[in-house]
Amino acid sequence: MKILVPVKRVIDYNVKARVKADNSNVDLTNVKMAMNPFCEIAVEEAVRLKEKGTASEIIVVSIGDKACQEQLRTALALGADRAIQIDTDQNLGSLQVAKLLQKVVEEESPELVILGKQSIDSDNNQTAQMLGALTGMPQGTFASEVNMAEGKVEVTREVDGGLQTVALNLPAIVSTDLRLNEPRYASLPNIMKAKRKPLEVKPAADLGVELTSKINLIKVEEPSQRDGGVMVESVQELVEKLKNEAKVIS
Partner 1 sequence: MNILLVAEHDNAELKVDTLKAASAAHKIGGELHILVAGAGCGQVAEQAQKVSGATKVLVADAPAFEHGLAENLAELINTVAGDYSHILAPATTTGKNYMPRLAALLDVEQISDIISVESSDTFKRPIYAGNAIATVQSEYAKKVITVRSAAFDKVELDGTAELVTLDFTNDAGISSFVKQELTESERPELTAASVVISGGRGMQNGENFKLLEGIADKLGAAIGASRAAVDAGFVPNDMQVGQTGKIVAPDLYIAVGISGAIQHLAGMKDSKVIVAINKDPEAPIFQVADYGLEADLFEVLPELEGAL
**Residues 216 to 245 in contact with partner 1, rule: CB under 8 A:** 216-223, 226, 228-232, 234-236, 238-239, 241-242
Return d(Cα 226, Cα 228) in angstroms, integer: 6
Burial letters 48-62, b for 16+ CB under 10 A, else e? bbbeeebbeebbbbb
* CB distance 13 to 34 below 8 Å: yes
Footprint on residues 178-197 left by partner 1 (CB under 8 A): 178-179
Among 151, 188, 189, 214, binds partner 1 (CB under 8 A): 214
Q: Least distance (Å) from partner 1 to the CB of residue 122?
A: 6
Residues whose CB falls within 8 Å of the CB of residue 171, separated by 6 or more in sequence, listed in order? 105, 109, 110, 111, 112, 113, 135, 137
Number of residues in contact with partner 1 under rule CB under 8 A: 79
Footprint on residues 3-42 left by partner 1 (CB under 8 A): 11, 16-19, 26
By beta-carbon proximity to partner 1, the closer residue of 188 and 217 is 217
Q: Least distance (Å) from partner 1 to the CB of residue 161?
A: 4
Helix (H, G, I), strand (E, B) or coil at 187: coil
Binding flag, residue 151, partner 1 (CB under 8 A): no
Q: Least distance (Å) from partner 1 to the CB of residue 189?
A: 29
